[in-house]
Amino acid sequence: MARSVKTAVIGAGPGGLVAARELRREGHEVTVFEKSTRVGGTWVYDPSTDSDRVAVHGSLYRSLRTNLPRQLMGFLDYPFPGPSESFVDPRAFPAHEEVLAFLEGFGRDFGVLEMVRFGAEVVRVWLARDGGEWSVEWRNDDGSVAEERFEAVVVANGHYSVPRIADIPGIDKWRGEQIHSHNYRIPEPFRDQVKCVHEDCEVEFDDGASLHADCIFYCTGYEYHFPFLETNEFISIEDNRVGPLYKHVFPPAVAPWLSFVGIPNKASFFMTLELQSKWIAQVLSGKVTLSSQETLMASIEAYYQELEHVGQPKHHTHSLHPNEIEYLNWLASEVSLPSIEEWKIQMYHAVIESFKSGIDGFRDDWDTEYWTGKSISAFSKGAR
């Protein structure tokens, strides 16, 4: 008989929402902790930026549109609305508001909202020594702190909030501005600045070139950050490698009772989140079995060696490219689903090629008619 597990999910962004749905579907008892007052995570646009006192979760800028076409922004049985049924934005690569509306609809339609404790920031998670359960401690909006025991914890706290800052020699003397993409919202403050060049704001590059600038804009990525996890003996972060994690999800020593959703990057995010969540739910229920701890560790070691062999730096451990589809198909097969449909693969590769070409405005050059024809089934078979 399938096992029902009392599970805490940390975060109600896309990862937490789909994890909660899959866990509930599999018969688990689910509580989602969300520190903000609404679902959507990254997709909730927040005009404020980090200050000394408050760290802002969101990193969206005001005019952001998705970098994947809408057909790749949905879930398997809950596709993203097609251009004609769009409720906000008819473009192939919609604006962020539409993604948020889609996620809110998802939360409502699958009853996930009822599982969420809003305004509840998880501040500590540790393994209770007596019963092998997890203690989860959270702080409510009113400042009160509470604790509850869970058999399993799924971490879905998002990984695009803590800027990874480049260590540039001489930066301590830089008199110009510095901003990380996390804190960029609107272009107005930068308008006309190039016109003004200062002697003391010189940037030197490796190839000997140099230029004067008023502002260094860091697009240097983000740090994984789990300030609430007291599990250093099972998992740690070293040079942005969260490890050891089997298939970027399970730390072998405590699998399947602790898991992570959404660690991979350079991926088709929503598909990855959904398949990881299905896998976690089915492993917890006992429908899918994990190998022994030793075998999982050996697999992780082999993966690390492979990365070293191809010269992939440690801080890119969770970058799936160019093996995104292989990873998704592996997850799909674990949960007895067919492989990713061919049109999705073609579409995904076409977008990646567009990114690589560096052509500005690739979203508007996208052949919407051609790709809509290819993917028409995605818009017509939906459960919406």
- Residue 262 binds ligand FAD (CB under 6 A): yes
The DSSP H or E segment spanning 216 is: strand 215-218
User: Tokens at residue 351, please?
Assistant: 């977008």
Question: Cβ closer to ligand FAD: 4 or 236?
Answer: 236
- Residue 80 binds ligand FAD (CB under 6 A): no
The region of 151-159, 187-195, 197-205, 245-253 touching ligand FAD under the rule CB under 6 A is 151-159
Q: Which of residues 309-368 bind ligand FAD (CB under 6 A)?
A: none
**Residue 41 DSSP code:** G
Would you call 94 helix, strand, or coil by DSSP?
Answer: coil
User: Tokens at residue 36, please?
Assistant: 């903000």
Angle CA 239–272–234, to nearest 5: 40
Question: Cβ closer to ligand FAD: 10 or 347?
Answer: 10
- Residue 150 binds ligand FAD (CB under 6 A): no
- Residue 22 binds ligand FAD (CB under 6 A): no
On whether the CB atoms of residues 62 and 188 are closer than 8 A, the answer is no
Least separation in angstroms between CB 377 and ligand FAD: 20
Question: Cβ closer to ligand FAD: 156 or 331?
Answer: 156
- Pairwise CA distance, residues 303 & 313, whole Å: 13
User: How would you classify the pairing of strands 210-212 and 202-204?
Assistant: antiparallel
Near ligand FAD by CB under 6 A: residue from 8, 33, 243, 328: 33
Least separation in angstroms between CB 139 and ligand FAD: 9
Q: Which of residues 266-285 bind ligand FAD (CB under 6 A)?
A: 269-270
User: Tokens at residue 292, please?
Assistant: 């022994």
Least separation in angstroms between CB 121 and ligand FAD: 4
- Residue 106 binds ligand FAD (CB under 6 A): no
Least separation in angstroms between CB 56 and ligand FAD: 10
The residue with tokens 């398949």 is 275
- Residue 11 binds ligand FAD (CB under 6 A): yes
- Residue 94 binds ligand FAD (CB under 6 A): no
- Four-CA torsion 352, 357, 358, 360, nearest 10 degrees: -90
- Residue 16 binds ligand FAD (CB under 6 A): yes
Near ligand FAD by CB under 6 A: residue from 100, 113, 156, 347: 156
Beta bridge partners of 122: 138
Least separation in angstroms between CB 263 and ligand FAD: 8
Q: Half-sphere exposure of 200 toward its Cβ, with a 13 Å CA cutoff?
A: 7
Question: Cβ closer to ligand FAD: 256 or 262?
Answer: 262
- Which CA distances in Å does 45 have to 23, 60, 104, 124, 370? 27, 6, 14, 27, 31
- Contact pattern for ligand FAD over residues 48 through 67, marking x by CB under 6 A: ---------x-xx---x-xx
On whether the CB atoms of residues 22 and 305 are closer than 8 A, the answer is no
- Residue 157 binds ligand FAD (CB under 6 A): yes
Closest to 33 in 3D by CA, of 163, 165, 93, 123: 123
Least separation in angstroms between CB 137 and ligand FAD: 10
Least separation in angstroms between CB 268 and ligand FAD: 7
- Pairwise CA distance, residues 36 & 46, whole Å: 11
Beta bridge partners of 211: 203
- Residue 10 binds ligand FAD (CB under 6 A): yes
Q: Which of residues 186-245 bind ligand FAD (CB under 6 A)?
A: 228
Would you call 258 helix, strand, or coil by DSSP?
Answer: strand
Site residues (CB under 6 A) for ligand FAD? 10-16, 33-36, 41-43, 57, 59-60, 64, 66-68, 73, 121-122, 156-158, 160, 228, 262, 269-270
